[in-house]
């Protein structure tokens, strides 16, 4: 891969760009603002930042000229109403661009479309959404399967790592940040249930490998793959955070679902979290896929260290 287009420069896109640059790939980062800093993982090269609306086909076509792959990491605010309005047309525009140019596109994916499963989430799991965000994710995945573009969707658990954003990573927001400030962790979840976790660097490496694997598949192929993941409890993460900071263990508070439901009447993010109760108040286990063997799995503890 000589040149890649990364759409979005958040916690996933910036890490993908850094890893690609470190491997010698020329990177274009497309964002609405056209600016931003991207860590280059110790490499001297710098990405090219371009102003691009990911829903604008003309701008996408211009951004994709001469690239070998697209990494579609743009997203929308954490609100199912906005997801329904923004994400399907944006996905379609990106897929159309990839098909027209004849290059693969890789999307990061969540577990939301599988939230109702009682078994571990695997690459061949059936869809089991429990609320609107999950149904939208299912719609996006089904549209990718039906599209003529060659693409992959790489599922990850809740993210942690060096580029984790406070308002995007629940682990950082609810566990590592409070403990680092001397407060008790409070999470809208059961703290004793295994919970799928992916280190962002692993998610990025898995997406890059998925793009490379698409080079030898028939046009129009869609692959659903699993990024490396582990399944600690949130209490284990809280205890390790305390140990890493040299602080006394404080049992994390498990916020009851009725509280998130009540707060959700006034705060949309809590409403959305409450709708996804099965992945927070029940075990949410991610089974290892083939990408774990191909790119390796970072210990979740190292991801916590990166955030601290």
Amino acid 46: pLDDT:
85
Q: How many CB atoms lie within 10 A of CB 299?
A: 11
> Helix/strand/coil (H, E, C) string of 275-295?
HCHHHHHCCECECCCHHHHHH
Distance CA 30, CA 13 (A): 10
Q: What CATH class has 3-157+198-228+286-296?
A: alpha beta
Amino acid 223: pLDDT:
97
Phi, psi for residue 232 in degrees, rounded to 5: -75, 165
- The torsion of the CA quartet 164, 76, 74, 161, rounded to 10 degrees, works out to 10
Task: Tell me, rounded to whole angstroms, the distance of Cα 48 from its chain centroid.
Answer: 23
Amino acid 168: pLDDT:
82
Amino acid 270: pLDDT:
85
DSSP state of 127: P
CATH 3.40.50.720: which residues of the chain? Answer: 3-157+198-228+286-296
User: Pick from 121, 106, 171: which is nearest to 288 by CA?
Assistant: 121
Amino acid 41: pLDDT:
43
Q: How many CB atoms lie within 10 A of CB 201?
A: 23
Burial class (CB within 10 angstroms; exposed 0-12, middle 13-18, buried 19+) of 167: exposed
- pLDDT tens column, 219-276: 999 999 999 999 999 999 999 999 999 999 999 999 998 998 899 898 898 898 889 9
Amino acid 264: pLDDT:
87
Amino acid 34: pLDDT:
77
Amino acid 36: pLDDT:
62
Contact 193, 284 (CB under 8 A): yes
Model-wide pTM > 0.85 = yes
Taking the chain (308 residues) in runs of 10, the rounded mean pLDDT of each run is: 95 96 96 67 71 94 96 94 97 97 97 96 96 97 98 97 88 94 93 96 98 93 97 97 95 91 89 91 94 93 95
**Biggest CA pair distance of the chain:** 57
Amino acid 166: pLDDT:
83
Amino acid 274: pLDDT:
87
Amino acid 54: pLDDT:
93
Distance CA 214, CA 195 (A): 30
């Amino acid at each position: 891969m000589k040149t890649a287009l990364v759409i979005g420069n958040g916690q996933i896109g910036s890490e993908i760009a850094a890893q690609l640059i470190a491997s010698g790939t020329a990177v274009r980062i497309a964002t609405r603002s056209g600016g931003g800093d991207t860590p280059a993982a110790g490499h001297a090269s710098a990405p090219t930042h371009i102003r691009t609306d990911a829903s604008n086909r003309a701008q996408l076509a211009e951004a994709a000229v001469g690239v070998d792959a697209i990494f579609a990491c743009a997203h929308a605010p954490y609100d199912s109403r906005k997801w329904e309005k923004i994400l399907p047309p944006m996905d379609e525009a990106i897929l159309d661009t990839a098909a027209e140019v004849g290059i693969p596109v890789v999307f990061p994916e969540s577990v939301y479309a599988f939230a109702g499963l009682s078994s571990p989430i695997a690459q061949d799991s059936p869809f089991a959404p429990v609320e609107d965000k999950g149904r939208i994710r299912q719609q996006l995945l089904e549209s990718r399967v039906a599209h003529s573009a060659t693409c992959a969707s790489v599922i990850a658990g809740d993210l942690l790592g060096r580029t984790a954003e406070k308002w995007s990573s629940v682990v950082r927001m609810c566990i590592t940040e409070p403990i680092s400030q001397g407060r008790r962790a409070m999470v809208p979840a059961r703290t004793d249930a295994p919970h799928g976790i992916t280190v962002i660097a692993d998610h990025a490496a898995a997406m890059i490998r998925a793009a490379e694997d698409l080079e030898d598949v028939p046009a129009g192929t869609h692959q659903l793959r699993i990024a490396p993941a582990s399944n600690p409890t949130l209490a284990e993460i809280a205890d390790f955070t305390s140990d890493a900071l040299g602080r006394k263990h404080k049992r994390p508070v498990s916020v009851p679902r009725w509280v998130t439901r009540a707060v959700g009447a006034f705060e949309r993010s809590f409403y959305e979290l409450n709708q996804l109760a099965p992945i927070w108040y029940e075990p949410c286990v991610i089974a290892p896929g083939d990408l774990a063997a191909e790119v390796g799995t970072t210990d979740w503890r190292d991801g916590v260290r990166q955030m601290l």
